[in-house]
Chains A and B, each alone.
Chain A
């Protein structure tokens, strides 16, 4: 996959020892970056399905280490960390994920005779869209409202995990953690030296050099 890097050379982690990061932030980010890459709550089958789903919800470029999205979902389920509210039509999140992942497998086998993670990306996307719009027929879903499960958990949990990761901040040019040092220049088109520069087409090399000085 080739895609334009809008903030070439920018690495928010370089600021780790700058005044932009405090001790609490370093503690939290160390834990985030050190997440175990193996399932601790989900079964191996559920994990494989989840990894494949994550790859479609947030397809990641091959030229950098991927954000281990499935690991964050597994971690959230293991800790049973919740959001503080649950649509009454859904079971608690652990049950929702387990039923949902199993149902994906059943659907994949019914439609294509293969495990979900062995489907082509087009087949995976197609199945995801069916679930998203509630066009499902496998009894494996039981009482689970598939469309709701898709928006609350598949999208909600996976996307939140991705944009909580420094790699995604580099991608969108987010300044990242900011305490005690915040920002000085508030108006449009103004940049503090610890913020990344955006590269227009063809400017990648020059901007890359500038962004490597951001700290």
Chain B
């Protein structure tokens, strides 16, 4: 039957399946609210900081930074190829994201308690590159006809994208700070408990990524109801994470954990959603030269996964090192 409102055939089936899976993750997250918080440990009996805990948290952060870097690497490769590397600076995110990916892999496997000077330098450098990249993208949008118009926000250089690589660097940088915690001490960053700092950074990162997804899904007219997921689920995760990071040390984090896990899964299923979207475009995968570039960006959604992993690392830090 000719149908003018929803896709038909295999695409529809797969979309439904994926949606159900993501929905199940969401339900899991919601459900965990309903249960009373289990009395795991009382604040009075805070354990002595476990020297391995800091390293574990640091490696989790390396993994988060690496996931984010991978997303940026593939996404910026596709997008800057589309832009024909018109400007030599457009190779920067490829190089930096590849470096971030490399050092993050190294960090994830590194069980030593001390920061690594190369990792540390690369992460710090990448944070700055993110800021500079944002400046470049702002300039690109501003000089187009119409300036800061919807047209240029939709189709010009994406303002939020360079921040993702910056975030990857920042998370890595934080991981090095956590790693350098002397044995027996609570990890601190800039004089604040590390778990809280990482939690706030991850929460803000998720919020920014939601902004980017909202802009681009608005550009796509939210033509598919599943396009509302990344603008509804991660914000909740960001809020509960923020509450965990800023609130009293003893509050239940079980719900936060579930929301973050759901967000991490959402990031991965988003990739599958986008791949189906590419297949639905004119000519499908046979027309990949066009549809990879003009269709939904396949590598973009795992940015949520990376940030959710960072949030989970923050939760781990908060639980391992209650600060009051």
| Interface set of A (CB-CB < 8 Å, partner B) | 19, 179-185, 190-194
Most buried by B among A184, A190, A194: A184
Would you give the shortest CB distance from B264 to chain A, in whole angstroms?
31
B289 at interface by CB-CB < 8 Å: yes
Contact with A along B279-320 (1 / 0, CB 8 A): 000110011011001100000000000000000000000000
A19 contacts B287, CB within 8 Å?
yes
- Contact of B289 with A181 in the complex, beta carbons under 8 Å: yes
Other A-B pairs beyond A181-B289, A184-B293, 11, CB < 8 Å: A19-B283, A19-B287, A19-B290, A181-B282, A181-B283, A182-B282, A182-B290, A184-B82, A184-B290, A184-B294, A190-B84
Closest Cβ–Cβ distance, residue B306 to chain A (whole Å): 27
By secondary structure, the B interface counts as: helix
Query: In the complex, which residue of chain A has the Cβ closest to the Cβ of B144?
Result: A187
**Across the interface, which residues of B come within 8 angstroms of A193, CB to CB?**
289
Cα(A191)–Cα(B85), bound, Å: 12
- Per CB-CB distance, the 5 closest pairs between chain A and chain B, nearest first, are A180-B283, A19-B287, A180-B282, A184-B293, A181-B287
Contact between B289 and A191, CB atoms less than 8 A apart: no
| Selected contact of A181 from candidates B82, B84, B86, B290, CB within 8 Å | B290
The answer on a CB contact under 8 Å between B84 and A19 is no
Chain A residues contacting B283 (CB-CB under 8 Å) are 19, 180-181
B290 contact set on A, CB distance < 8 A: 19, 181-184, 192
CA distance A7 to B294 in the complex (A): 27
Chain B stretch 200-239: residues in CB contact (< 8 A) with chain A = none
Task: Give the size category of B's interface with A.
Answer: 10 to 19
Please name all residues of chain A whose beta carbon is closer than 8 Å to the beta carbon of B287 when the two chains form the complex: 19, 180-181
With A181-B287, A182-B290 as given contacts, are A191 and B282 in contact (CB-CB < 8 Å)? Answer: no
| Closest chain A CB from B80 CB (angstroms) | 12
Q: Which residues of B are found within 8 Å of A194, using beta-carbon distances?
A: 289
Q: Is the CB of A191 within 8 A of B84?
A: yes
Alpha-carbon distance between A149 and B286 when the two chains are bound, in angstroms: 47
Cα of A194 to Cα of B289 in the assembled complex, Å:
10
CA distance A181 to B282 in the complex (A): 7
B residues near A185, Cβ cutoff 8 Å? 82, 84
Residues in A with CB closer than 8 Å to B286 are: 19, 180
Rounded to whole angstroms, the CA-CA distance of A193 and B293 in the bound complex is: 13
Name the B residues within 8 Å of A181 (CB-CB): 282-283, 287, 289-290
1/0 contact string of B240-276 vs chain A (CB within 8 Å): 0000000000000000000000000000000000000
Question: Can you list 15 contacts pairing A with B, beta carbon distance less than 8 Å?
Answer: A19-B283, A19-B290, A180-B282, A181-B282, A181-B289, A182-B290, A183-B290, A184-B289, A184-B290, A184-B293, A184-B294, A185-B82, A185-B84, A191-B84, A192-B289
CA distance A7 to B164 in the complex (A): 41
B295 CB to nearest chain A CB (Å): 10
Residues of A within 8 A of B293 (CB): 184
Q: Bound state CA distance, A184 and B291, in angstroms?
A: 9
Q: Which residues of A contact B84 (CB under 8 A)?
A: 185, 190-191
From the candidates B83, B289, B294, name the one contacting A19 in the complex (CB within 8 A): B289
Residue among A19, A185, A190, A191 with the highest chain B CB neighbour number at 10 A? A19
Query: Taking each of A182, A191, A193, which has the highest tally of chain B beta carbons within 10 Å of its own beta carbon?
Result: A182
Complex Cα gap A190–B294 (Å) = 15
Closest beta carbon of chain B to A36's beta carbon, Å: 34
Contacts of A191 in B (CB 8 A): 84
> Which A-chain residue is minimally distant from B288 (CB atoms)?
A19
Give, as a whole number of angstroms, the nearest-CB distance from B194 to chain A.
Answer: 44
Nearest-neighbour CB distance to chain A for B324, whole angstroms, equals 55
* Assembly CA distance A110 to B95 (angstroms): 78
Closest Cβ–Cβ distance, residue B32 to chain A (whole Å): 44
Shortest beta-carbon distance, B120 to chain A, in Å?
39
The CA of A175 and the CA of B266, in the complex, are separated in Å by 40
Nearest-CB residue, chain B, relative to A19: B287
Q: In angstroms, how far is the closest chain A Cβ from the Cβ of B81?
A: 10
Most A C-beta atoms less than 10 A away, residue of B82, B86, B290? B290
**How many angstroms from the CA of A191 to the CA of B283 in the assembled complex?**
20
Tell me the B57-111 residues at the A interface (CB within 8 Å): 82-84, 86
> Which residues of chain A are within 8 angstroms of B282 by Cβ–Cβ distance?
179-182
